[in-house]
Structure formats: C-alpha cells, structure tokens
Structure 1
C-alpha cells in the first residue's frame, strides 16, 4: 500500500534563508527521489496558504492551496482540518498543536538558550508551540548532534529517539559567481573579510566589530544581512570606519562575495547547524568560526576557531591569517573537504527513509 506524506508548505512564503531554505532543498530532493523505483511506495503532497503554488514547481509532488488564513492561524486551524489523519512533515519547528501524527524538524533550542535575541511575543509563541509538538509528535528530526543535546539539555523534549539529519550545503554550487559584484560594491579581489550582519545577541557581531577596531584601518570588514549601521548605533555598539554594510543580497551576490573574500568570519555563540561557514568553505573561502555551537562538529579542521567572547583572540586570528597565504591555501582546501560531507539529496534520502518507516 502506498504511504502518503503531507508537507506543511508555509515555508514557501518565507524569505529564502535558514529553516525555509531547508524546507525548499529537502522538498526538491524528495521530488527527485520519487522518480526512483525504491520510492514508488510513497506519495507526497505539499499544502499551503494562498500564494504557495506560485513559489515552486515539482514534477512528482502536488501543491495544494487551501484556506483564507496565513501564518500561525493557517498552521493551527486550516492545516489540521485539511490534514486530518494524514502524516504531516513540518520543517520550521512549529506544527498544529492538535495533531501528533507527523514529523517536526526542530533546528535548535535557541528560543530558550538565546531568549534575549527574540521578542517576547515570538519567544512565548515559539517556545510554547515547539515544546508541545516536540513532545507530542511521532517523529522529531534535528540537524546536528549538538542541536540534539541542546534540545534535551534545555528540556524542549528529553526524548531519546530524536533523529539527526544534517543539512546540505551544495546549493551554493548551483550559482555562477558574477565578476561584476565586486565592482558594484567597490571591493577588491581578496581585499576584504566577509561576515553576516544580524543584531541578535547570539550572532555576536559586536565581537567582530571590536576586533576590527584593534587592527589596521585598511583591512575592511564587509557585512551582509538585515542589520544596518544604525541598528548597531541604536544598541550602543561602536562601528569602526573600516566596516561596510551591504544589506540583504541575492544568492548570486553571496556566492560571488564568498568566492573572492580573503576570509569568512562567523562569531555566533550558538548555532544548531551553522550553514553560512559551510557555504563559504564549500566555495573555498578560508573561514574562522567561533568555537561554539555545532561549528566544531560540522566544520572540523576545515576552519580556524576563535574564542567567541574574546575580541582580542579574534583580532589575533584574523590579522595573522590576513597575511599568511600558505594558511589561506590550506584552509581553502581543507574547507572544501569538510563541506563535501553535506549534500541535500543525501539529506532528503535520510528524511524519506525515516518518514516511510513512521508514516
């Protein structure tokens, strides 16, 4: 008998980063795997709010739009009515509270371990829903052994049957670097360090800013992401003059900038997986990470590590690497090797094997 799996498709209406990217990449992998003989016993349908069908196209997965709600109301009221008893996969850590037949992907426990990074509303909502569904749903998947321990240690759920399926990182190989991007932003080839820009406390960008204030003014730090210079000013975090803010950028721009950066820097104090440093490593960009979260587990010897709470240690590591071409070459090669372990199609296969057993 064919098993039916329903996918909670709300992620298709979200920005393509973090958890929504995982949903998109794994679902695309499902679509490819369903053409293989060994998966002919599975039927997959993706259901979402109005507007979902225009966001993706699959050969073997039907997309259904239903209901007039969006966001949490759609997920808590429309989705369970549509799903009824069907096994449902939820990629973004939340799921209908009244169901239990399905799978929830819980990426980390940051809503507890880094509560200062979240608004009170999002903390209460996410904490409540994720905690309840993590204890009720038949199947729980997370993205690293570190995330599994964090979920258990912070008592999101203490169950021992959490499956670990790492994300992929090879999506960056689908994009061709655009040589015009450096000129667009006034950057020189191999003449800058690159990092994410998020004001959230656990992203720890303030440590990078302090580190760059200690070094030569002609070593530029280029930040991309949602947080601007004014956001750091508003939080009383000094920004040295050798820092450039790009704002949000496209995937092509990201690949272009990572491929031509002198180094990529990732100072987060906790991450359930740590996708950005692995993206950089996959593209051969020498990378320095905080020795924290899942980064040592996933990046292994493909990156250098710095104390997340010491700007002096970051400054030492950054400016030593800046002038050491041999170490840059070693990290470029070692980073690619470490990143090769993470492939979206392999992750999708692991998901399907788990879901087929539990559905």
Structure 2
C-alpha cells in the first residue's frame, strides 16, 4: 500500500470575517473536503489536516481533520501565529490560500490574489504594505508552487518579480456559494423600492467610490436610487445626494435580496485580482456594470457592460440604458448567470488537488481552464 500523501491547510483565514480572501480560503477548504469524501484519482492516498488558531470559526468538514493551535499571546498580533507557530504543526505540505504564509515552509503552495499593495499602495496602511511587499516575493521564490485567481493577476505578479510566470497557476474564485444565500431570510424587502443601483462600498482609493458619488445626482434626476452596502458612506451618505442610501454592513442573505431587486450592480473599481462581487451578482441574476479593469474584463466577459472607471457620463448612460431597455436587461441576467456557472468552487478545488498531486510527483492531467471564456466584452463610453 503506497504511503499517505499528507497536506496541511493554513487556517489563519478562519479568524477573519468570511469575505474576500477569507471567503476563498473557506470555500476552497469546503470544496476539497467534498472531493476527498467523494473519492477519485486526485484524492487517492491523500490526508488533509486543517490547522487553525484557537478561537477561529469552525467549518462543517466531513473528511478533513481540524487541529486547533493556540497562539502565543493576546491580543492577536498579525503574522506571529502564521510565521512562528504554524510551521511546527505542518504535516507534509502546506496549502496557504490568503497571500501571506510561513516563509520557513518551502513545501507549500500559496495563493497570491493580487499585487494591490504595489499598484495602489495608498489603499493600505504602512504595516500591511510592508508585510506583503517583504513576504510575498520570498514566498514566490521558496514555495513549491504559487497560485493566483486570474490570468491578469498572474501577469501582474510576474511583471513585479514576485514569482516567475511559469511557476504561477490560475486557480480562480468560485461564485456558486452565492446560490446558497437565501433572500427570503433578509430582514429588509427591496422589491417595492423605486429603481435602484447597488454597489458594495469600501473606503479604499482603488474601489473608486468617487465615481458612485459623482453619478448620483444624474441618477436622482431619473428617479434612480443608489444603495451602498458596506463601510463606505456611513451616516454621512446623504451628503452625496438625497438618493444615496447607506445600508451599512449587511448579511449575505440581505445582499442576495438587494441583488435580486436591483436594476443593476455597479462595480467601478480601478484594479482587482478577480472581482468576486461582480461574479456573485451575476450568479444572483443581477446585471453588472463593471469597470474596464483587466481582471473584470476577463471574469465578466461580454456578460457585463464595461465602462472606463473615470467616465462618469458613461456610467450614468449605462444605468439609464438598462432602465429604458428592460429586454436588454433580461438578456444580461441570462448571460450573467451563464457566465457565473464557469466559476465553481469544485472546479477551483480540483485545480488545487492537481497542484498537490504535481508537488507529490503523482502524474495528473493538467486541469482545464475555468472561467477562460474569451468572448469580446461590451465596452461602454468608448
């Protein structure tokens, strides 16, 4: 009987809010667990352990064993657990899903989601920038393999010298988790509001919230509200226009209800590694107007309307176009749902199992390109 192939998952993401890179870590872990439970060639002889700090959120795992590793001290200090404690509990290889990982472990596969701290450093505080700029290039040289979430991010990381392009695999994001959200559980009903556009706002310059505020008055003249979920806007949202409504942080179920009722989802971000909110909106049947950021052009393809992130008139015109053309909007709903089906967490997990098998020297067929549809995008305002 061949020896077991052992891998450990870096569960640091379980101490974080389940969004962004933490969402990626959570969903890939659950999907790997499902594949291990189902069996198959890539799962043969594979033993996976999840190492997580004490106090992290537990996952409903059937096949992956969880090990809780206490931390040195409270309050929790960034990277102490990852760099100093986790390496002592790694069995076999290590999977790190969220950018930073222990530099002491060379037999690992690490996912680097983007190069934002290089491209728009003003969006991050000094210590966050420093940690990423120091640790990621070291991992790019030492790790057995590097993954990222789009071909665009792969090119960016290579161009900046973080890792060689031939060592970076594309392991996408999935968005089918959004199908588990239940709009019926939302505390607010969005269906009887006047027409509104929805966005997820964050107070980081690269998210380009200035575009949202700039187009709000023109939308107000057409009777269209702007609903902002997330941290941006806050209690002072009305200063951006009487039609701007700050929802604050809302649950996934409420986000599903808002997406299903919205005229469209607007995503004017200047840079993205993948652009998960746009994919989630498409999965929920919400038409997407997205920026011309390369990753969004790649992920959304011709299922979204793409507008330059500085073209306020182009964004306003795109929203009004959907307001005045309900049949075009319905066509975009169908196209978005079809596009979203390209991005599944099972497919992402299969890619990771393939990378693990390759690291173990197990012959495996190269995984197919998920989300690689190349239809020409729609570009508005061009």
Q: TM-score under structure 2 normalisation?
A: 0.87
**Other-structure match for 1:229:** 234
**Other-structure match for 1:129:** 135
**Other-structure match for 1:213:** 217
Partner of residue 174 from structure 1, selected from 172, 177, 180: 180
- The Cα shift of 1:219 comes to 1.0
Aligned residue-pair number? 351
**Other-structure match for 2:368:** none
Residues 172, 348 of structure 2: 8 Å contact kept = yes
Partner of residue 77 from structure 1, selected from 53, 69, 84: 84
Residues 181, 256 of structure 1: 8 Å contact kept = no
The verdict on how the C-alpha distance between 1:232 and 1:106 changes in structure 2, with shifts beyond 3 A counting, is farther
Aligned equivalents of 2:263, 2:169: Cα separation in 1: 37
**Other-structure match for 2:313:** 312
Q: Which moved more, 1:347-356 or 1:170-179?
A: 170-179
Aligned equivalents of 2:40, 2:288: Cα separation in 1: 40
Task: Name structure 2 gaps, 5 residues minimum.
Answer: 361-382
Partner of residue 53 from structure 2, selected from 42, 49, 52: 49
**Other-structure match for 1:118:** 124
Task: Name structure 1 gaps, 5 residues minimum.
Answer: none
**Other-structure match for 1:292:** 293
Partner of residue 30 from structure 1, selected from 20, 29, 32: 32
Deviation sequence 1:223-262 (CA, Å, 0-9, x none): 00122336879xxxx6122100011111111111111111
Aligned equivalents of 2:80, 2:9: Cα separation in 1: 17
- The Cα shift of 1:353 comes to 1.2
- The Cα shift of 1:154 comes to 2.3
- The Cα shift of 1:180 comes to 5.6
- The Cα shift of 1:178 comes to 1.8
Q: Does 1:67 align with 2:73?
A: no
- SS of residue matched to 1:269: coil
Aligned equivalents of 2:171, 2:293: Cα separation in 1: 20
Aligned equivalents of 2:33, 2:128: Cα separation in 1: 32
Residues 235, 246 of structure 2: 8 Å contact kept = no
Aligned equivalents of 1:254, 1:284: Cα separation in 2: 12
Residues 281, 339 of structure 1: 8 Å contact kept = yes
- SS of residue matched to 2:70: coil
- The Cα shift of 1:167 comes to 1.1
Residues 154, 165 of structure 2: 8 Å contact kept = no
Aligned equivalents of 1:89, 1:160: Cα separation in 2: 19
Residues 113, 154 of structure 1: 8 Å contact kept = no
- The Cα shift of 1:202 comes to 0.6
- SS of residue matched to 1:215: helix
Partner of residue 4 from structure 1, selected from 6, 15, 26: 6
Deviation sequence 1:314-338 (CA, Å, 0-9, x none): 1111122222111111111111111
Aligned equivalents of 1:124, 1:180: Cα separation in 2: 39
**Other-structure match for 1:196:** 200
Aligned 1:260-299 pairs, distance under 5 A:
260-299=261-300
